Every structure is written in structure tokens, then in C-alpha cells.
């Protein structure tokens, strides 16, 4: 998988850096190329990086609760930029407050994300899903 690139980052005005660091580490351990934009990443920065590095997937994190505002229109924006084949995953504490996950998932899928992860998800699961979606063997 050394030639498969994943762009990762934490969207919006969000500065939660710990999960990002672990996702970076875990993807590299799983032999992916990682482009880590760090925290406080705008939609444009995600898209620009994905284009530039010919990424296969974008892992968006949002922890601080304002992800609903920050992620709006992300799918369309990616499409407009021609990123039709890039997988869009999002995870973290996506909305404000403790809430049922199903409606949250629906909301973010409607924004164009292919996979949506609930709070505190094990990143290993995201990586498994990625391999499956990309048709990469274990």
C-alpha cells in the first residue's frame, strides 16, 4: 500500500491534535502514504492537498462539535474539484452533545461522506474499511 496516499487533518477551527497524531501513526504502520495537514484545516486545504498528492482518500476529523458547520458542502466541493474517485471518511465527535449516531451518520452521508465514524472509534476499523473500499488485500 506504499503508493496509496491518504490526506488527513482536523477541519475548521478545531485544534484537537492527539487523535490526528495517532491516525497518522496508524496509517503509516499500515503502510499508507500519509499527508497530514494537522489541525485547523479548511475544506480548500484538504482538496488542494488531495489533488496535489493524487490521494485515494481523505480522512477528515472533527472533534470540537462544530463539524456540522465546517463540513457543509464538502462532498460537492470535492466533486467540483474533480475528486470523484476519492474516498471521503469523517470521524470524531461530529456534532454537539451526546446523541444517537444514526441521524448523525445520515447527516454526514448527505454531505457526501462515504463513511462516518462515531465518537472514540478505533482507527483500526477505519483502516480496515479503507482497505476494503480500495480493494486492497489484508
- Contacts with another protein by CB under 8 A lie at 12-18, 21-22, 25, 38-40, 64-66, 68-69, 93, 95-99, 119-120
Residues of this chain that interact with ligand B12 (CB under 6 A) are 13-19, 22-23, 59, 61, 63-65, 89-93, 96-97, 117, 120-121, 123, 126
Query: Residue 35 or residue 86: which is nearer to another protein going by CB?
Result: 35
Largest Cα separation within the chain, whole Å, is 38
Question: To 5 degrees, how large is the angle CA 9–CA 68–CA 124?
Answer: 45
Residue from 121, 102, 110, 6 nearest 62 by CA: 121
Cα four-point dihedral sign 44, 101, 20, 109: negative
105 binds, among another protein, ligand B12, none (CB under 5 to 8 A by kind): none
CB of 82 to another protein, least distance (A): 27
Q: Report the run of H or E that residue 9 belongs to, with start and end.
A: strand 5-10
DSSP, res 105: H
Does residue 14 carry a catalytic annotation? Answer: yes
46 binds, among ligand B12, another protein, none (CB under 5 to 8 A by kind): none
Does residue 16 carry a catalytic annotation? Answer: yes
Query: Residue 32 or residue 83: which is nearer to another protein going by CB?
Result: 32
| Residue with the three cell numbers 465527535 | 93
Residues that are catalytic? 14, 16
Amino acid at each position: 500500500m506504499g503508493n496509496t496516499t491518504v490526506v488527513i487533518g482536523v477541519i475548521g477551527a478545531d485544534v484537537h491534535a492527539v487523535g490526528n497524531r495517532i491516525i497518522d501513526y496508524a496509517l503509516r504502520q499500515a503502510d499508507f502514504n500519509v499527508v497530514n495537514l494537522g489541525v485547523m484545516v479548511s475544506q480548500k486545504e484538504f482538496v488542494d492537498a488531495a489533488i496535489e498528492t493524487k490521494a485515494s482518500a481523505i480522512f477528515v476529523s472533527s472533534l470540537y462539535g462544530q463539524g456540522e458547520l465546517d463540513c457543509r458542502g464538502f462532498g460537492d466541493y470535492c466533486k467540483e474539484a474533480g475528486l470523484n474517485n476519492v474516498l471521503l471518511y469523517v470521524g470524531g465527535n461530529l456534532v454537539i452533545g451526546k446523541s444517537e449516531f444514526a441521524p448523525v451518520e445520515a447527516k454526514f452521508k448527505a454531505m457526501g461522506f462515504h463513511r462516518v465514524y462515531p465518537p472514540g472509534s478505533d482507527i483500526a476499523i477505519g483502516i480496515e474499511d479503507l482497505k476494503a473500499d480500495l480493494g486492497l488485500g489484508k
